[in-house]
C-alpha cells in the first residue's frame, strides 16, 4: 500500500502554507510525535530550501543592449481600447435610438387611428403621415447628414478594433 504520495502532498501543503489552520495544527502535531512524518518532513524541507536557492541563468552581457537596439526600431502601438471611449459610443448609440423613436412617435402621432379607408388593405390610415416635412427642410437635411457621418465614424472604429485584435492574435 503506497501512502507516501499522500503524506508527501500533505507535507508540501504544510511547508508551502497552503493548508488551512486545522490541517496545519494536525500536521504540526504529527511531525512532532510521529517518526515517519518527522523524517519525511525533514527530507522535504531540505529539498524545499535547496529549491529556494536555485540559481538563475544569466544571458550575455550585451543582452539588454541588444533588446534596446531592437525596440528602437518600433514605436508602441496605442492600446486598442485607448481611443475608443465607451461613453462616446453609448452617446452616439443613444442619439440614434432616440432619433428613431422620435420618428416613430411622430409617424404614429400622424396616423388617424379612428378612420378606415374602405379601399385600403391596411387596417389603419397612414395617408395622413406627412414625412415630406422632414426632407424639405435644410436643418433636417443637415441633421440627417450628421447622423450618416456619425454612423460611418462608428463603423470605422469598430472595424479598426477588429483589425488590431486580429493582427495581435496572428503575432502571438
Partner 1 sequence: MNTGPNDNEIISRVLRGEQAPYAELVKRYQNFVFTIALRYTPHREDAEEIAQDVFIKAYRSLADFRGESKFSTWLYTIVSTTCITFLRKKKLEVQSLDNEKVFEMAESHDSGFRANQVEQKSKLQMVNEAIKLLSPDDGKVITLFYKGEQSLEEIGKIMGLDPNTVKVKLHRARRRLKEKMEKHFVQEVKDIMN
If binding is defined by CB under 8 A, does position 84 make contact with partner 1? no
Give the whole-angstrom CA distance, residue 19 versus residue 27: 10
Minimal distance in Å, beta carbon 170 to partner 1?
11
Q: Using an 8 Å Cβ cutoff, are 111 and 123 in contact?
A: no
Which residue, 58 or 136, is less far from partner 1 as judged by CB? Answer: 58
Stated length of the chain: 172
Q: The C-alpha cell of 140 is what?
A: 433636417
Which residue, 73 or 87, is less far from partner 1 as judged by CB? Answer: 73
- The stretch near partner 1 (CB under 8 A) out of 69-77, 86-94, 100-108, 153-161 is 69-77
Q: Using an 8 Å Cβ cutoff, are 147 and 164 in contact?
A: no
Strands (DSSP E) contained in 4-157 are none
Q: Using an 8 Å Cβ cutoff, are 128 and 107 in contact?
A: no
- What is the per-residue binding string for partner 1 in 28-67, x denoting contact by CB under 8 A? ---------------xx-xx--xxxxxxxxxxx--xx-xx
Which spans of this chain sit near partner 1 (rule: CB under 8 A)? 5, 8-9, 12-13, 18, 43-44, 46-47, 50-60, 63-64, 66-68, 70-72, 74, 76-80, 82, 168, 171-172
Amino acid at each position: 500500500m503506497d501512502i507516501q504520495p499522500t503524506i508527501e502532498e500533505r507535507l508540501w501543503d504544510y511547508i508551502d502554507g497552503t493548508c488551512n489552520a486545522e490541517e496545519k495544527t494536525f500536521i504540526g502535531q504529527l511531525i512532532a510525535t510521529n517518526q515517519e512524518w518527522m523524517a519525511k518532513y525533514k527530507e522535504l524541507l531540505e529539498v524545499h530550501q535547496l529549491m529556494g536557492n536555485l540559481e538563475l541563468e544569466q544571458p550575455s552581457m550585451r543582452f539588454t543592449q541588444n533588446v534596446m537596439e531592437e525596440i528602437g526600431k518600433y514605436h508602441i502601438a496605442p492600446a486598442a481600447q485607448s481611443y475608443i471611449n465607451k461613453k462616446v459610443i453609448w452617446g452616439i448609440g443613444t442619439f440614434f435610438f432616440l432619433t428613431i423613436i422620435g420618428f416613430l412617435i411622430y409617424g404614429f402621432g400622424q396616423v388617424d387611428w379612428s378612420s378606415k379607408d374602405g379601399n385600403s388593405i391596411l387596417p389603419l390610415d397612414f395617408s395622413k403621415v406627412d414625412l415630406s416635412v422632414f426632407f424639405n427642410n435644410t436643418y433636417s437635411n443637415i441633421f440627417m447628414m450628421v447622423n450618416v457621418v456619425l454612423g460611418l465614424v462608428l463603423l470605422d472604429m469598430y472595424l479598426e478594433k477588429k483589425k488590431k485584435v486580429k493582427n495581435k492574435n496572428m503575432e502571438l
